[in-house]
Chains A and B, each alone.
Chain A
C-alpha cells in the first residue's frame, strides 16, 4: 500500500515571499503520478499541479513549481510571490498508474499568507 506523509501541519509566509511545502511518499510502484491539491475555506478541491513519475523535468504552473526527487521519494511544492488567496490547506496525493485512478492523500499542510 502507498502512503503519503506531509510533515508540516501548519506554515505561514509573508505576502510576496516564497514558501516550500514538503511531501514524502512510500511506494513500490515504478509508474505513478503525484499531485498537489489546494483546499480553500470554500472546501472546494482544486488541482494545483501534477507530476508524472517517468518525467525527470519538474512540473511548473505559473507561481507553483515542484521539486520531484524520485529516488528520495520526495515531492515538495514551491509557491513563489505568495498571495493572500494562496491561504488554504494543501494536500499532496499519489496515484498509481493504471490503478483505477484512485488518489491516496497526505494529511495536509495549512498555509497562511500574511499581509
Chain B
C-alpha cells in the first residue's frame, strides 16, 4: 500500500509563479486535507474535502485553491506565490467513518524566493 503520496518533495518558486502540489491516496478514503506547517509552528488547515466534488475552506485558505474531481486525488494550487507561502505542506486522508485517524503524506517543502 502506498498510502498518501505527495509530489514533489521539494520545490523552489519565484515570487509570482504558480504551481500545483499533488496528493493522491489509494485507500479509498472519503476525507482529504491540506495542512501547512510553518517553522516552529503546528500544522494549520488550508482546505479539506469530504468527498469528490465537495471542498471547503480551513483556517488559512487565502492564496490557495483546491479541487476534488476523484476520490483519490486532491491537488492544491498556489497562484501568484508569495514568500509568506514558504512552508511545509502536508496532505492527509481519513476514511470519514468516525475512524478519527488521519493518514499523512511525507510533506512538500516549498520555498518562495
Contact = CB atoms under 8 A, between A and B. Distances in A.
Chains A and B come from one and the same complex: yes
Interface string B22-63: 000000000101010000111111001010000010100000
Contacts of A64: none
A34 B40 CA distance: 21
B42 A43 contact: no
Interface stretch (B11-19, B70-78, B97-105): B97-105
B101 A106 contact: no
A108 B41 contact: yes
B48 A106 contact: no
B96 A45 contact: no
Contacts of B33: 102-103
Interface residues of A, number: 24
Q: Is the interface of A mostly helix, strand, loop or mixed?
A: loop
What's the interface size class on B, roughly? 20 to 34
A28 interface: no
Contact of A44 (B58, B98, B101, B106): B106
Contact of B42 (A4, A42, A95, A100): A4
Given A4-B42, A108-B42, A101 B90 contact: no
16 contacts: A9-B40, A33-B100, A43-B106, A43-B107, A45-B92, A47-B102, A91-B43, A95-B100, A100-B31, A100-B50, A101-B94, A101-B102, A103-B43, A104-B45, A106-B42, A108-B42
